[in-house]
Amino acid sequence: MLELRHLRTLIALRDTGSLVEAAERVHLTQSALSHQIKDLESRLGMPLFARKTRPVAFTRAGERLLALAEQVLPQLRLAERDLARLAGHEQGRLHMAIECHSCFQWLMPTVDHFRDHWPEVEVDIPSGQNFDLLPALVREALDLVITDNPEPLPGIHYAPLFRYEGLLAVAKQHALAGQSWVEPPDLVEETLIVYPIDHSRLDIFTQFLEPAEIRPREIRSAELTVMMMQLVASGRGVCALPNWALTEYLERDYVKALPLGKEGVWSTLYAAIRDNDRALPWMEDFIRTARDTSFAVLSGIKPA
């Protein structure tokens, strides 16, 4: 009567709060997910949650199955790891680098969780890389690169982690703060604060300003997100960041955030690995852990 897919579906429904987003999380259409749930409810003879509620309001039966899922699914992951060890696949090296300056918020909990379960794998995040990261992955100087700019390289696979929206942060008293969104011409007279990386790797340029042939009055850089937020809050510029990186500042009412265009600018973050490493159990587990941790600690992201 009960299958693992049912338990995963209920966890996704609880975490996302809607059928649409839960379907994306488990890689089904909304119609297929609804059919799966109705079929399970028919077998059980009782509803699992109240329809048309957000967040989802589970019935007592639904709560009981959620409790079961929270017990069974982690134990299944542990068993899979143990079987990989018994098969002799536990040894390895995972040297990684990030092209995303604000990724440590979810990456460090991911690494901590991974180390607890794969102590035999050598994990390192080298600092101060003065080389191109993706070519370094090809020549095996690195084993994984977090990037939102996938390049077609031989022997490289890009595993999607999640989708995120880029938002423009402005001071609360800024003239743009009252708008519902911003358009490229709104930034003509602005000072745009960016991370000190090539503009070709920043969505604010590639997906928003450059297609409209707009350039801000001034561009300045800052190494750290907190420095960028201080400059924005004091009215010394605006900056574009992933929605999750702005969450704590928005909750503190420190700045205002606006979508880039009426439809917004969405990007996908990837874990780039070598094709030859895709089947390694610990590599598969790291990528799965990265996805799970991201959805547990970040706000506003969507399944890729």
Residue type, 43: R
CA distance 233 to 171: 5
Cβ-based burial of 129 (10 A; exposed 0-12, middle 13-18, buried ≥19): middle
Beta bridge partners, 239, equal 169, 193
Measured at the CA of 202, the angle between CA 197 and CA 207, to 5 degrees, comes to: 160
Q: Is the pLDDT of residue 120 over 90?
A: no
Using one digit for the tens of pLDDT, what is the confidence trace for 143-153?
999 999 899 99
Using one digit for the tens of pLDDT, what is the confidence trace for 257-285?
999 999 999 999 999 999 999 988 889 99
Lowest mean pLDDT: which of 24-28, 47-51, 78-82?
78-82
Q: Is 29 left (phi over 0), alpha (psi -120 to 50) or beta?
A: beta
**Mean pLDDT, all residues of the chain:** 91
- Which has the higher per-residue pLDDT, 103 or 180? 180
CA distance 20 to 303: 11
Helix (H) or strand (E) holding 47: none
CA distance 165 to 243: 6
Per-residue DSSP letter, 242: E
What count of other Cβ atoms lies within 10 Å of the Cβ of residue 87? Answer: 9
CA distance 302 to 304: 6
Rounded to two decimals, the pTM is 0.76
Beta bridge partners, 221, equal 194
What count of other Cβ atoms lies within 10 Å of the Cβ of residue 180? Answer: 7
* Listed residue (255, 261, 262, 214) closest to 238, CA to CA: 255
